[in-house]
Amino acid sequence: MSESLLSFSEVLLFGRLLTDLKVAASKNVTANKTVRLVAKKKVKVNKDLSVADDTIDGEEVANNDKVLITGNRPKKNGIYTVTTKNGGMNYTLGSLVRVKEGALVKVTDGDKYADSYWEQTLPTPTGFNKQEFVFRKELSEKLGANQQLKDQYGDDARLARIYGFSYEGTYYELPEPTIFLVHGKGESPTDGNKPGNLASRAPSDPTLSGVASADYQIANDIKVWDYDKADYTVRMDVMTGQFEQVLLDIYFGFDSPAISGARVSGARVSGARVSGARVSGARVSGARVSGARARGSED
């Protein structure tokens, strides 16, 4: 993390990774194979190609790249490995790999087909040697130009229990730990930046802690994740306790949404809306409940 003019838009999350909950990729978009580039036009295979022709879908190929070829005859289609020759002046597409009918191949790079999925559609009897790959648009659609939503569930997506966050130079402690979607293992806000021998004190460098001063302590095993305030995430609030506390009191208690404007139909609660609630430290101020109406009253 480096401090810049845009640092005030950063949100730093402080917490620990969960070991009992993990993010799993959907089975519907799990690729059987992953390659770097895809070529939809006819490409020479098992023949030396000049360095002038070493681009596929706008990207230069490199030694050991995996490339999906779909524009050749069915016997020539498949996954090839790039091998460079003559000091990089020539390269060859060789070592053909075939996949079964219905298998998905994910392409990671390219001007047009980055993050795309391709399905092998030809039957694969014993000794099969023909392949045809079809672009799966519904699996490859980008959610927004920057793919923020799609990229949330990459290989480094994890769940962490967050205890607090810093924003605009101030640290805020959450009323109770909350689970957030994060990415990577996180960084230590204390290692390598310890003031004196007080290892558990907040670091003095705002670039690492996100705050200029503090009268609190951060445990050594706490990690920090750096985000922009416009980034997408997932928040999960977990409640534990007796059914009376975590279920019945919520629906039938004094502060229940079943009172003041909520309509209960079967097991569904609708019509309860709370707006303008602001939490500052352990104080709730400015809470306004709108849309609540008591029937049968003249007030």
Distance CA 116, CA 130 (A): 22
Share of the chain above pLDDT 90, in %: 11
Same domain, 119 and 218: no
Write down which residue in 87, 115, 140 finishes a domain: 140
Question: Does 108 or 198 have the greater pLDDT score?
Answer: 108
User: For 28-50, what is each residue's pLDDT tens digit?
Assistant: 556 788 999 998 888 888 787 76
Mean pLDDT along residues 132-158: 69
Q: Are residues 75 and 116 in the same domain?
A: yes
- Across the range 220-228, mean pLDDT stands at 87
Q: How far is 54 from 60, CA to CA, in rounded Å?
A: 6
* Residue 48 is assigned to a structural domain of this protein: yes
pLDDT at 235: 93
Does residue 1 belong to any structural domain of this protein? no
Q: Is residue 2 part of a domain?
A: no
Q: Do 134 and 160 belong together in one domain?
A: no
- Amino acid present at 70: T
Instruction: Count how many domains the chain has.
Output: 3
Q: Are residues 68 and 135 in the same domain?
A: yes
Same domain as 267, residue 216? no
| Residue predicted with more confidence, 175 or 198 | 175
Sign of CA dihedral 127, 132, 137, 140: positive
Q: Which of 13, 11, 21, 33 is nearest to 225 (CA)?
A: 13
74 and 115 belong to one structural domain: yes
Provide the whole-model pTM: 0.49
Mean pLDDT of 193-203: 59
Q: Which domain holds residue 103?
A: 27-140
Last residue of a domain, one of 92, 109, 140: 140
Reading the block at residue 261, the tokens are 């404007």
Same domain, 19 and 159: yes
* Res. 14: pLDDT tops 90: yes
pLDDT tens for each residue of 90-105: 788 888 888 888 888 9
The answer to whether residue 212 scores a pLDDT higher than 50 is: yes
| 62, 82 Cβ separation under 8 angstroms | yes
- Specify whether 31 is located in the same domain as 11: no
| Residue whose tokens read 């959450």 | 174
- The last residue of a domain, from among 140, 167, 187: 140
Asked if the model's pLDDT at residue 156 lies above 80, the reply is: no
Burial profile 133-161: b = 16 or more Cβ within 10 angstroms, e = fewer: beebeebbeeeeeeeeebbbbeeebbbbb
Q: Are residues 163 and 123 in the same domain?
A: no
Instruction: Please check whether residue 172 lies inside any domain of the structure.
Output: yes
160 confidence band (pLDDT: 50, 70, 90): very high
pLDDT tens column, 227-286: 888 888 889 988 888 999 888 888 887 655 544 444 444 444 444 444 444 444 444 444
Does residue 149 form part of some domain? no
Same domain, 122 and 187: no
Same domain for 160 and 103, yes or no, is no
- Please, are residues 108 and 124 in contact by the beta-carbon 8 Å criterion? no
Comparing 4-8, 30-34, 220-224, 250-254, the range with the smallest average pLDDT is: 4-8
Lowest-confidence range among 148-152, 176-180, 182-186?
Answer: 148-152
Phi (first) and psi of residue 112, to 5 degrees: -105, -30
Cα 153 off chain centre by = 3
Residue 34 near residue 105 (C-beta atoms within 8 A): yes
Residues 171 and 66 in one domain: no
Query: Does a structural domain hold residue 145?
Result: no
Q: Of 7-11, 81-85, 179-183, which gets the smallest average pLDDT?
A: 7-11
What stretches of 110-169 adopt beta strand conformation (E)? 116-120, 133-135, 157-167
Domain-embedded: residue 14: yes
- Is position 147 within any domain? no
pLDDT for 159: 92
